[in-house]
Structure 1
Amino acid sequence: MRLAFSIALRFLKSSKGQTALIVLGIAIGVSVQIFIGSLITGLQKSLVDKTVGSASQITVESVTEGDYIQDSADKMVAIQKSNPDEIINLMAVAQGPAILKTPDDSTTIILRGFDWEDAEGIYKIKERLTTGNLGNNRNDIIVGQDLAEKLNVAVGDTIEMITPTGMKDNFLVTGIFDLQIKSLNESWILTNLNTAQTFLETNEGVSRIEMQVNDVFGADLVALDVERALNDETLTVTNWKIENAALLSGLSGQTASSLMIQVFVMISVVLGIASVLAISVVQKSRQIGILKAMGMHNQRASLVFLFQGVLLGILGAIAGVGLGVGLSWSFATFVVNADGTSVVPLYIDWYFIGISAGIAILASTLASLIPAIRVSKLDPMEVIKNG
Structure 2
Amino acid sequence: MRLAFKIATRFLKSSKGQTALIVLGIAVGVSVQIFIGSLIQGLQKSLINKTVGNSPQITISSTKADKLINGSDEIIDKIESTDNRIKNLSVTTDIPALVKEDNQNYSVLIRGMNKDDSDKIYNIKKRIYEGREPKYDLEVMIGKELKQELGAKIGDEIQIITNNGEVNTVTITGFYNLNVASLNKSWLITTLENAQNMFSLGGDVTNIEMQVTEVFKADEIAANIESKLNNNYKVDNWKAQNEELLSGLKGQSVSSIMIQVFVLIAVALAIASVLAITVIQKSKQIGILKAMGIKDKTASYIFLFQGLLLGIMGAILGVILGLLLEIAFTKFAINPDGTPIVDLYINYGFIVLSAFIALASATIAALIPARRSSKLNPMEVIRNG
Query: Do both share a fold (TM > 0.5)?
Result: yes
User: Is the partner of 2:169 in helix, strand or coil?
Assistant: strand
Separation in 2, partners of 1:339, 1:312: 43
Separation in 2, partners of 1:105, 1:157: 16
Identity %: 51
Separation in 2, partners of 1:132, 1:281: 76
Code of the aligned partner of 2:213? N
Gaps of 5+ in 2: none
User: Is the partner of 2:81 in helix, strand or coil?
Assistant: helix
Separation in 1, partners of 2:360, 2:156: 69
In structure 1, the residue matched to 2:231 is 233
In structure 1, the residue matched to 2:175 is 176
Separation in 1, partners of 2:36, 2:348: 14
Separation in 2, partners of 1:335, 1:370: 42
In structure 2, the residue matched to 1:186 is 185
In structure 1, the residue matched to 2:278 is 280
Contact 1:62 1:234 in 2 (8 A): yes
Separation in 2, partners of 1:283, 1:180: 64
Q: How far apart are 1:28 and its partner, in Å?
A: 0.5
Code of the aligned partner of 1:33? Q
Q: How far apart are 1:214 and its partner, in Å?
A: 1.5
Q: How far apart are 1:63 and its partner, in Å?
A: 2.0
The runs of 4+ residues in structure 1 deviating greater than 6 Å are none
Between 161-170 and 376-385, report the one with greater CA deviation: 161-170
Correspondent of 1:376 among 374, 377, 381: 374
Matches within 5 A, 1:38-57: 38-57=38-57
In structure 2, the residue matched to 1:145 is 144
Q: How far apart are 1:159 and its partner, in Å?
A: 1.2
In structure 2, the residue matched to 1:207 is 206
Matches within 5 A, 1:1-387: 1-64=1-64, 66-84=66-84, 86-103=85-102, 105-229=104-228, 231-387=229-385
TM-score by length of 1: 0.98
Code of the aligned partner of 2:194? T
Cα displacement string for residues 101-123 of structure 1 (whole angstroms, at most 9, x for unaligned residues) = 23463311110001110111111
Q: How far apart are 1:222 and its partner, in Å?
A: 1.4
Cα displacement string for residues 155-194 of structure 1 (whole angstroms, at most 9, x for unaligned residues) = 1011111111122211111111111111111111000001
Cα displacement string for residues 34-64 of structure 1 (whole angstroms, at most 9, x for unaligned residues) = 0000100111111111111111110001124
Contact 1:59 1:208 in 2 (8 A): yes
Gaps of 5+ in 1: none
Separation in 2, partners of 1:95, 1:268: 57
Code of the aligned partner of 1:76? I
Separation in 2, partners of 1:215, 1:202: 34
Separation in 2, partners of 1:337, 1:65: 47
User: Is the partner of 1:233 in helix, strand or coil?
Assistant: coil
C-alpha change, 1:65 and 1:286, in structure 2 (3 Å) is: farther
Cα displacement string for residues 84-114 of structure 1 (whole angstroms, at most 9, x for unaligned residues) = 2x21111001001101123463311110001
Contact 1:92 1:208 in 2 (8 A): yes
Contact 1:167 1:199 in 2 (8 A): no
TM-score by length of 2: 0.98
C-alpha change, 1:178 and 1:365, in structure 2 (3 Å) is: same
Cα displacement string for residues 344-387 of structure 1 (whole angstroms, at most 9, x for unaligned residues) = 11100000000000000000000000000000100000000001
Contact 1:105 1:151 in 2 (8 A): no
Cα displacement string for residues 278-299 of structure 1 (whole angstroms, at most 9, x for unaligned residues) = 0000000000000001111000
User: Is the partner of 1:191 in helix, strand or coil?
Assistant: strand
Code of the aligned partner of 1:39? L
Contact 1:93 1:193 in 2 (8 A): yes
